[in-house]
Amino acid sequence: MGSEKIREVDRAQAQDTPDRVYRELRELIVSGRLAPGTRLVETFAAQRLGVSRTPVRSAFHRLKREGYAVAANEGDERQRLIVAPITAGDAADLFHIVGELEGLAGYYAAGIEREKRRQFARELEELNNKMLVESQASKMDNYKVFQLDAAFHRRYVVEASPPRLLALHDAIKPQADRYARLYVSALTDKLDLSVAEHAVIISAIEAGDRETAQRAIQTNWRNAAHRVGELIAEWGESGGW
């Protein structure tokens, strides 16, 4: 490989590093491996990810801007950060925002060409049926349920969303997934309710009823916000100390 090519590769890797560090840290937070309230320390993160502190610092700023991290104490001049706490209010905000974004995506999806719409409605139905089967299993696979639910919602989002809507969804949805993953073991106790709500979404999209599809998706997310809120009230908020 020539020296110029090597320099190009080095530049590409340097540009990718801050984004890669951000994505890896975000995944640790969303998956719960960095628990709510955990202090974020540049040196530890840099060592774990095998990078310098500069991209870590950049990633920390981005995590704070997007709500994954918050200041440990108000007025802290050193700007020490912790993983954002789990709160009922935050869950409600996120789920309602996602519901509005996905509701609009469903509105667009219900308006695409008839045969194409019917084809992906069948794909939605297949995913929902798998969730129904899982809900009736003697030992439910919580992670599988989470993956099926995420795939169901993502399917109609990518089908017809314009680029700006898709970008907004990509930015906010992982924050809602943080709550869904943390509480998935309890949320699956009410999986039959989600399956029924999904069936309404599928019917509306297949029929080309834009307004009903939009409302059904909004309702699904608002009900999910209520169910998660009940769980947080029962289990207590986390990471706020």
Query: CB count, 10 Å around CB of 51?
Result: 17
What average pLDDT is seen over the chain?
Answer: 86
Judged against a pLDDT cut of 70, whether residue 16 lies above it is answered with no
**Contacts with 25 (C-beta within 8 Å, 6 or more apart), sequence order:** 34, 40, 45, 49, 56, 59, 60, 63, 68
Rounded Cα–Cα distance for residues 82 and 116 (Å): 46
Asked whether the beta carbons of 155 and 123 are under 8 A apart, the reply is yes
pLDDT at position 233 is 85
HSE of 222 in the Cβ direction (CA atoms, 13 Å)? 8
Average pLDDT over residues 100-114: 97
Rounded Cα–Cα distance for residues 156 and 178 (Å): 21
Asked whether the beta carbons of 46 and 59 are under 8 A apart, the reply is no
The per-residue b/e assignment along 120-156, b for 16 or more CB within 10 angstroms, e otherwise, is: bbeebbebbebbbebbeeeebebeebbebbbebbbbb
Integer angstrom CA distances of residue 52 from 11, 26, 40, 57:
16, 18, 15, 9
Judged against a pLDDT cut of 90, whether residue 9 lies above it is answered with no
Asked whether the beta carbons of 159 and 112 are under 8 A apart, the reply is yes
> Which residue would you say has higher pLDDT here, 174 or 140?
174
* DSSP codes, 67-88: TSEEESSTT-TT--EEEPPB-H
Length of the chain equals 241
Judged against a pLDDT cut of 70, whether residue 120 lies above it is answered with yes
Average pLDDT over residues 163-182: 90
Q: How confident is the model at residue 74 (pLDDT cuts 50, 70, 90)?
A: low
Rounded Cα–Cα distance for residues 78 and 94 (Å): 28
pLDDT at position 172 is 92
Percent above pLDDT 90 for the chain: 57
Q: How confident is the model at residue 145 (pLDDT cuts 50, 70, 90)?
A: confident
Region class of 67: left (phi > 0), else alpha (psi between -120 and 50), else beta:
left
Which phi and psi angles does 69 have, rounded to 5°? -135, 155
Average pLDDT over residues 77-96: 88
Q: How confident is the model at residue 13 (pLDDT cuts 50, 70, 90)?
A: very low
Average pLDDT over residues 79-99: 92
Which phi and psi angles does 118 have, rounded to 5°? -65, -35
